[in-house]
Amino acid sequence: MNTLFNSALKQSSAIRRDLDAFAENPAASSPALQGQISASLTSLSRTIDDYSETAKKELIPTKQEKAYERLKTFRSDLLDYRQTFTRLKKDREDS
């Protein structure tokens, strides 16, 4: 479960970094960056799903509860990233 958690953290950090780069200058951002962000969002979503399945199988209640709390955070972050990405794409189209 730690591996999936660490992977999700790294993916989340990379998405945040890419969104920051996109936000700096949406009009000049390359389509490659947009594709990378889109692929990263999909990958993070899958990692979260895998982490959720692993958390369901956790036998120690305290670890399971901790995993569920982490899942809430990851899902909230993912939703925020998607909304930010959509807004930035719209800003790019408008400019």
Reported as a single tens digit per residue, the pLDDT across 46-91 is 999 999 999 999 999 999 999 999 999 999 999 999 999 999 998 8
Nearest in space to 43 (alpha carbons), one of 3, 14, 72: 14
* pLDDT over threshold 90, residue 3: yes
Measured on CA atoms in the order 19, 21, 26, 28, is the torsion positive or negative?
A: negative
Mean of all residue pLDDT scores within the chain = 94
